[in-house]
Copies of this chain bind each other. A is one copy, B any other.
Amino acid sequence: MPEHLPQPAIVLVRPQMGENIGAAARAMLNFGLERMRLVAPRDGWPNPAATAMASGAGRVLDRAGLYPDLGGAISDCTYVLATTARMRGLTKPVLSPERAMQITREKMQAGEKVAILFGPERAGLENEDVARANAIVSVPVNPDFPSLNLAQCVLLLGYEWRRQNAQVIAEQTDLGKTIWATAGEIDHLAQNYETTLDQAGFFFPPEKAANMQTNLRNLWSRMPLTRVDVQMLHGILRQMVRWKHRDD
| Inter-chain contact B89/A169, CB cutoff 8 Å | no
- What per-residue 1/0 map shows which CB atoms of A154-194 lie under 8 Å from chain B? 01100100110010111111111010000000000000000
Complex Cα distance A146/B171, Å?
Answer: 19
Q: A95-B171, A147-B30 are in contact. Are A159 and B162 (CB under 8 A)?
A: no
Copy tally for this chain in the complex stands at 2
Extra contacts, 19 of them, besides A30-B145, A152-B152 (Cβ < 8 A), are: A1-B142, A26-B147, A30-B142, A32-B142, A88-B174, A91-B175, A91-B176, A91-B178, A92-B174, A93-B171, A93-B173, A94-B172, A94-B173, A96-B168, A96-B170, A139-B159, A140-B163, A140-B166, A140-B168
- Please, which residues of chain B bring their CB within 8 A of the CB of A96? 168-171
Q: Is the CB of B155 within 8 A of A95?
A: no
Chain B positions within 8 Å of A174 at CB level: 87-92, 94
Quote the shortest CB–CB distance from A86 to chain B (angstroms): 10
